Amino acid sequence: MALSAGTRLEQYEVLSHIGSGGMGEVYRAHDSKLERDVAIKVLPATFARDPEPVARFKREAKLLASLNHPNIAAIYDLEESGGIHFLVMELVEGETLAERVAAGPLPVREVLTISQQVADGLEHAHEKNINHRDLKPANVKLTPEGKVKVLDFGLAKAFVPEGQKPLDSEASTLSNLPTKEGRVLGTPAYMSPEQAQGKTVDKRTDIWSFGCLLYELLTGKRTFPGENATQTIAAVLRAEPDWQMLPAQTPERVREILERCLEKGLSRRRRDIGDVRVELEKELHGTPKTEPVAVVAPRMAWRHTVLWSAASLALLAMATAAVWYVRPTPSQPVMHLNMNVAPADRLTALE
């Protein structure tokens, strides 16, 4: 149900329509109590017909409200007015990354600055065991000051019924089926393989989506293109990204980040977005990339020490031997024999 300007929902007066999404319509509104502008997201009518998902969503909203990070748009409250359920959220000015990248790929330096902030926000949420589940350029805003704000953090989980079913391949962000018959939520182009198959997901599904976002910012193209959701999901499950699309000036470290984030196998994919953030910060600050051989450097240093010590001992031994060789041999004791010889004439007389 669309709301017109001037509509009041409790203390909130609707000012204008901001956008539409699978999780509801978003409006700019004014909070008359706190005298500030906010964003309100009116939840789908199918959501409000069943008290069970409403109760579940309230529990999730409380958890999401605990997120307090400069790169995450805050959730203030969950309200109900005249049968309309809506979220009250931080109003973030600026354009989404989807709008920004529509004009073409971003400069590598700008991509690094943006993606580092996205990773920082994800890391904060993951530390609280909260996953986004629908990370994509349209859910990230860039303020006029250059600050990144991740939107709709964790809302996908709030919509997923217990015992979720496999993905409806034609779904975009939110299934239009009644809540009890809901399907896996997400956007096919940014879903991880396990998410697309309706499997249990963890923080590594966000790392996959982050890789898709990073690739798109660098190339201006979707990581896994398709004419429809079915083709896109097939590409996610079986195809590899076109690495030739990456600009020539893409740093080697960033290429490696992308390859590891977009590993289809969970056991080979990056496990912690915090590690990705650190690598991005190193690239931003110009820290040289450590070569793999650095891992064995301590052992090599030990071996060099042993070799030098052995060589030194051998030289010392040779020097000692040489000294003993050229040293004069001590004189043997001299025996003095005194003999008195008689004169010749006396010897003749004795005969």
Q: Judge whether residue 103 has pLDDT over 70.
A: yes
pLDDT band at 304 (very low <50, low <70, confident <90, very high): low
- pTM value is 0.76
- What torsion, rounded to 10 degrees, do the Cα atoms 269, 274, 276, 282 define? -150
Distance CA 264, CA 262 (A): 6
Task: Name the pLDDT band for 179 (thresholds 50, 70, 90).
Answer: very low
What is the per-residue pLDDT for 338? 53
Specify the residue for token string 């590690």. Answer: 275
Boundaries of every domain in the chain = 8-89, 95-288
Tell me how far apart the terminal alpha carbons of the chain are, to the nearest angstrom. Answer: 162
What whole-number percentage of the chain has pLDDT above 70?
72
Do 148 and 139 touch, CB atoms closer than 8 A? Answer: no
Q: Which of 50-54, 85-89, 337-341 has the lowest mean pLDDT?
A: 337-341
Among the listed residues 31, 134, 152, 206, the single catalytic one is 134
pLDDT of residue 300: 45
Q: Quote the pLDDT of residue 8.
A: 94
134 as an active site residue: the answer is: yes
Q: Which residues contact 200 (CB under 8 A, 6 or more apart)?
A: 194
User: pLDDT: is 327 or 108 the higher one?
Assistant: 108
- Assign a CATH topology to domain 8-89: Phosphorylase Kinase; domain 1 (3.30.200)
The amino acid that residue 11 corresponds to is Q
Residue 89 has a pLDDT of 92
What's the sign of the alpha-carbon dihedral 197, 201, 206, 211?
Answer: negative
- The structure tokens listed for 174 are 């939110």
Tokens representing 339 are 């003999």
CB 154 within 8 Å of CB 125? yes
Least confident of 119-128, 129-138, 321-330: 321-330
Distance CA 212, CA 6 (A): 39
- The CA distance from 84 to 24, in Å, is 11
Q: How many residues are given for the chain?
A: 351
- DSSP-derived pairing of the beta strands 84-89 and 36-42: antiparallel
Structure tokens at 304: 């060099």
Dihedral of CA atoms 146, 149, 150, 152 in degrees, nearest 10, equals -140
Better-scored residue on pLDDT, 331 or 83: 83
Binned at pLDDT 50, 70 and 90, residue 313 comes out as low
Residue 85: predicted pLDDT: 87
- Architecture of the domain made up of 95-288: Orthogonal Bundle (1.10)
Q: pLDDT at residue 119 above 60?
A: yes
The pLDDT value given to residue 1: 64
Q: Which two tokens stand for residue 210?
A: 């982050």
Task: Give tens-digit pLDDT for 226-268.
Answer: 999 999 999 999 999 999 999 999 999 999 999 999 999 999 9
Least confident of 132-136, 178-182, 277-281: 178-182
The conformational region for residue 4 under phi > 0 = left, psi -120 to 50 = alpha, else beta, is beta
Fill in the DSSP letter of residue 72. Answer: B
| CA gap 212, 306 in Å, rounded | 49
- Summarised one tens digit per residue, pLDDT across range 334-351 is 455 454 545 545 444 444
- Alpha helix (H) ranges present in 50-93? 51-64
Q: Name, in order, each residue with C-beta under 8 angstroms of 167's C-beta and a sequence gap of 6 or more.
A: 183, 184, 186, 188, 191, 195, 196, 197, 198, 233
Check residue 135 and give its pLDDT.
95
Kindly indicate the confidence band of residue 189, based on its pLDDT and cuts at 50, 70 and 90: very high
Which amino acid belongs to residue 129?
A: N
Instruction: Tell me which range, 24-28, 127-131, 256-260, 295-299, is most confidently predicted by mean pLDDT.
Output: 256-260
CA 315 to chain CA centroid, Å, is 54
CB 133 within 8 A of CB 185: yes
Q: Which of 129-143, 221-235, 295-309 has the lowest mean pLDDT?
A: 295-309
pLDDT at 307: 56
